[in-house]
Amino acid sequence: MVKLYNDGGRITAALSGDIDHHTAREMRQELDEAIAHSQPELLIIDMEKVGFMDSSGIGLILGRLRAVHANGGEIIIKNARPEIAAVIRISGLSGLLVEGNTNEKATN
């Protein structure tokens, strides 16, 4: 499930539940629509309520990263549980993980 909060140049996408091949497609569609409509400077993916993520979640992140970068924006991931953060790090996307204040853009 995706809850979107759009404040103009920044979109926060609060994801919840499991991210696997069954759920990733719907999440991708919702995020892609929001990105296409708003062309955000910053997309924040909040994973606080994600319980499980497999490689489908990495595909979800990579595709949104490309879409946001195509418009000159950035993406960050916050509140990832340790096991989710480990999957993200293993995939080479550790530069997207942030802790603490997300009011400023992350520097990669």
Structural domain span for residue 53: 2-98
> Where does the pLDDT of residue 106 fall: very low under 50, low under 70, confident under 90, or very high at 90 and above?
very low
- What's the number of domains the chain is made of? 1
Q: Is the predicted pLDDT of residue 104 greater than 60, yes or no?
A: no
Confirm whether 107 is domain-assigned.
Answer: no
Q: Residue 22 sits in a domain of what CATH number?
A: 3.30.750.24
Per 3-state DSSP, the chain is made up of helix, strand and coil in percentages (nearest 5) of: 40, 30, 30
Q: What is the mean pLDDT of the chain?
A: 91
**What single letter denotes the amino acid at residue 103?**
N
Could you tell me if residue 104 is inside a domain? no
Sheet containing 2-6: order of strands: 2-6, 10-19, 42-53, 74-78, 97-98
Rg (CA), the chain: 12
- Of the pLDDT bands very low, low, confident and very high (cuts 50, 70, 90), residue 28 is very high
What is the Cα–Cα distance from 44 to 80, expressed in whole angstroms? 12
Q: What is the pTM of this model?
A: 0.89
Query: So what's the pLDDT on residue 43?
Result: 98
Question: Given a cut of 80, is residue 108 above it in pLDDT?
Answer: no
Cβ contact 39:73 at 8 Å: yes
